């Protein structure tokens, strides 16, 4: 029988039971006390309250019930799309006074800073999927302006799959896991997606982007962002200017190779999230410039497409992008769930000086995003969650609702009222002079007519810009795009879908269709019918990643792997590390054992990663510093051979000591301009990939 005092007692089997007793004097700081959500201090967080030492748990154990109750409800519905995301705090800094274009306060003066919270995401996969599938990346920025929150919610691709929001559920249903079998996860390479796409010619331009290297980026820090739609800027005089928004990464555009992306997913499913966290943690803050393409109705009318069509771009060679500010991300969220998961973006969140157009996809988004927050966050008061809360005064008569956190005073909860005449607080009033007012649009809006469910004829050309995109790419990128189409369509079991896609591709580029048909061992059919003539538009070099205007010019911000083993020359290791650091890159020491390697001078160099767990896909170039004995040992290590083989196969620079040559030979490395000695030339070599090497290594479409 247990003793009445609850302390040591025999359990009947010769052992002893011990009730947990908190140590006295350890918690002088009030913040150190563990409490319930009601503020009641907890004496024992290790054991349930039981009726005797072996008895049942008592219903009165409110500590247990509250803790389990909360745990059981910790998960909220994930986003239907963009479920897997990473985000960071930062600021936007305006380059100039843009009052001639807009009265938005964040653009009101040069140097003005506005806090932001920016979330990057994949589209198709769930919250637990990997970071590196072939997928569009969401690029959403919440500006906490002095006039309220502005959400610029876009992607890393400037166009979209569909022209009208009524097709969005169909698009997402098609790309998600197939309804009867529940797979594939986070992948578009399956029947239902391509069946839908093959029946939607308007998706062709987006497919060119989706199958390009844009959807397998090297880092979130090296993607562009786009507002996708045509918006308006409106100045204080009510003058409207059309704008398209662009985010340009200071780090430059960088992508991976498909084989590399697949291997990264296996080596580190959180590769992009980790990279973003580590960059911010080390003070290498990611940065983008915000640019606009600003134009009027006359310019819009001169274009061979409709600027309200979200499947079209205005090439930068036709209308240059004007840089108007920069965004710096300098702080990781304190709590992932509270901020990254609960942040609620909505394209309808705009401020005075920014306005919408009649883009039919945008108009549907204005409804959808707000509606979904109630399902995800459980209350119409989601805007009171700190990450969603405006940083300017919020005063209105909206009251009550689930999880209402505010405590409005007074009895006025309606407007208009005359309580002020009785000496009571009457509350806020509308202000026509400073409040938001929608741009009337009649003077320069497209002609209004009868209410119809119809697409305008100006939206009918689905192939000219797809052709523009493909023909603008560098030769390696064209090969990657064709190979991506072969891979994706090879996963499609419905032969008629593959045939229909090939017929669509003929309209884009007959050579592209031929390459894809050859890769599938299928005859190329006649071109599918078109609703409007296909034009040959001038190529746009700005669309390239390889050798384009935003290709990185240095290794700044990149990771350089340094493979060492016992006996590696200490002086060479120190020299290479210094060269890499001086160039603004991160040296990553990789060794057979995580404890490190004993260098030639007897010192122990602790490794950043163990060889088998840190393959070369994790870095941007490699330096192999080995002694003869170290190289001989690694010749028997499969991970070392694969490390070098992948670095060469993924077209990366390889710097090496002469003693490492045997390992390079065994890995099949053939000397070229990207295989260099470990001197100052290595840093220059490491700044690029060696695309000329690729045709000798793999079969591309």
Q: What residues are labeled active site?
A: 82, 155
Residue 207 tokens read as: 């497919």
The Cα 183–Cα 192 span in angstroms is 11
Strand partners, 655: 623, 676
Strand, helix or coil at 79? coil
The Cα 440–Cα 67 span in angstroms is 54
End-to-end CA distance of the chain: give it in Å, rounded. Answer: 80
**324 and 94 Cβ atoms separated by less than 8 Å:** yes
| Nearest alpha-carbon partner for 245 in 348, 354, 340, 168 | 354
How does strand 137-145 pair with strand 113-122? antiparallel
**95 and 323 Cβ atoms separated by less than 8 Å:** yes
The Cα 153–Cα 162 span in angstroms is 17
| Nearest alpha-carbon partner for 219 in 559, 563, 643, 455 | 559
The Cα 141–Cα 561 span in angstroms is 33
**109 and 94 Cβ atoms separated by less than 8 Å:** yes
Looking at 244-296, list the stretches that DSSP marks H as alpha helix, in order from N- to C-terminal side: 258-267, 271-281
Strand, helix or coil at 621? strand
Q: Rounded to 10 degrees, what is the CA torsion of 380, 382, 388, 391?
A: 60
Residues in CB range of 496: below 8 A, 6 or more apart:
none
Residues in CB range of 15: below 8 A, 6 or more apart:
none
| Nearest alpha-carbon partner for 112 in 131, 99, 127 | 99
Q: How far is CA 294 from the centre of its chain?
A: 26
Residue 640 tokens read as: 């070392």
**625 and 618 Cβ atoms separated by less than 8 Å:** no
The Cα 396–Cα 401 span in angstroms is 14
Write the CA distances from 653 to 620, 642, 656, integer angstroms.
8, 15, 10
How many residues are present in the chain? 701
- Residue 334 half-sphere exposure, CB side, CA atoms within 13 Å? 3
The Cα 288–Cα 24 span in angstroms is 53
Q: What is the DSSP letter of 292?
A: E
Tokens 């797979």 correspond to 183
- Number of neighbouring beta carbons within 10 Å of residue 8: 11
Write the CA distances from 416 to 420, 426, 431, 595, integer angstroms.
11, 9, 13, 72
Residue-wise over 135-155: b if at least 16 C-beta within 10 A, else e? bbbbbbbbbbbebbbbbbbbb
Residue 629 tokens read as: 């004995």
Residue 399 tokens read as: 């009251």
Strand, helix or coil at 293? strand
3-state secondary structure 338-380: HHHHCCCCCCCCCCCCEECCCCHHHHHHHHHHHHHHHHHHCCC
């Amino acid at each position: 029988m247990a003793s009445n005092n609850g302390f040591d007692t025999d359990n009947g089997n010769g052992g002893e039971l011990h009730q947990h007793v908190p140590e006295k004097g350890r918690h002088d700081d009030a913040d150190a006390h563990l409490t319930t959500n009601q503020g009641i201090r907890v004496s024992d967080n290790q054991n349930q309250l039981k009726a005797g030492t072996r008895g049942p748990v008592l219903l009165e154990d409110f500590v247990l019930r509250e803790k389990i109750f909360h745990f059981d409800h910790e998960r909220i519905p994930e986003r239907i799309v963009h479920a897997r995301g990473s985000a960071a705090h930062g600021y936007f800094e305006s380059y100039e006074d843009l009052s001639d274009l807009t009265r938005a306060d964040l653009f009101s003066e040069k140097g003005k800073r506005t806090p932001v919270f920016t979330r990057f995401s994949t589209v198709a996969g769930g919250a637990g999927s990997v970071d590196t599938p072939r997928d569009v990346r969401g690029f959403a920025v919440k500006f906490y302006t002095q006039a309220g929150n502005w959400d610029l919610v876009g992607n890393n691709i400037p166009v979209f799959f569909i022209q009208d929001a009524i097709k969005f559920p169909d698009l997402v249903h098609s790309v998600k896991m197939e309804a009867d079998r529940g797979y594939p996860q986070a992948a578009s390479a399956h029947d239902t997606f391509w069946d839908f796409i093959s029946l939607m010619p308007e998706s062709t331009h987006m497919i060119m982007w989706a199958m390009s290297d844009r959807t397998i980026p090297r880092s979130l820090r090296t993607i562009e962002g786009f507002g996708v739609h045509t918006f308006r800027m409106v100045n204080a005089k009510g003058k409207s200017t059309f704008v398209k928004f662009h985010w340009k990464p200071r780090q430059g555009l960088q992508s991976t190779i498909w084989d590399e992306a697949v291997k990264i997913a296996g080596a580190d499913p959180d590769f992009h999230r980790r990279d973003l966290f580590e960059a911010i943690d080390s003070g290498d803050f990611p940065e983008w410039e915000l640019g606009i393409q600003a134009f009027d109705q006359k310019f819009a009318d001169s274009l061979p497409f409709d600027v309200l069509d979200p499947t079209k771009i205005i090439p930068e060679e036709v209308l240059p992008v004007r840089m108007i500010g920069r965004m710096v991300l300098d702080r990781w969220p304190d709590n992932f769930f509270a901020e990254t998961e609960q942040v609620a973006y909505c394209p309808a969140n705009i401020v005075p000086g920014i306005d919408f157009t009649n883009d039919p996809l945008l108009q549907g988004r204005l409804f959808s995003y707000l509606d979904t927050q109630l399902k995800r966050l459980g209350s119409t008061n989601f805007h009171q969650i700190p990450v969603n809360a405006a940083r300017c005064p919020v005063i209105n008569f909206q009251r009550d609702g689930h999880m209402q956190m505010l405590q409005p005073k007074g009895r006025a909860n309606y407007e208009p009222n005359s309580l002020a005449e009785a000496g009571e607080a009457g509350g806020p009033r509308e202000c026509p002079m400073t409040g938001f007012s929608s741009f009337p649009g009649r003077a320069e809006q497209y002609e209004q007519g009868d209410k119809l469910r119809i697409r305008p004829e100006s939206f009918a050309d689905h192939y000219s810009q797809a052709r523009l995109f493909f023909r603008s790419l560098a030769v390696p990128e064209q090969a990657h795009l064709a190979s991506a189409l072969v891979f994706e369509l090879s996963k499609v079991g419905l032969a008629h879908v593959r045939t229909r896609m090939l017929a669509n591709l003929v309209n884009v580029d007959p050579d592209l269709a031929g390459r894809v048909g050859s890769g599938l061992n299928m005859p190329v059919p006649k071109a599918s019918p078109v609703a409007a003539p296909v034009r040959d538009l001038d190529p746009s070099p700005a669309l390239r990643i390889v050798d384009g205007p935003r290709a990185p010019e240095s290794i700044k911000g990149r990771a350089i792997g340094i493979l060492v083993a016992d006996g590696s020359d200490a002086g060479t290791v120190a020299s290479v590390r210094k060269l890499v650091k001086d160039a603004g890159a991160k040296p990553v020491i990789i060794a057979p054992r995580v404890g490190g390697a004993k260098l030639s001078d007897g010192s122990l160099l602790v490794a950043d990663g163990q060889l088998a767990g840190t393959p070369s896909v994790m870095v941007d170039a490699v330096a192999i510093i080995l002694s003869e004995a170290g190289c001989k040992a690694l010749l028997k290590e499969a991970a070392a051979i694969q490390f070098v083989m992948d670095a060469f196969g993924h077209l990366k620079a390889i710097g090496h000591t002469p003693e490492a040559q045997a390992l390079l030979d065994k890995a099949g490395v053939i000397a070229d301009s990207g295989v260099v000695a470990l001197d100052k030339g290595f840093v220059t070599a490491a700044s690029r990939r060696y695309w000329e090497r690729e045709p000798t290594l793999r079969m591309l479409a």
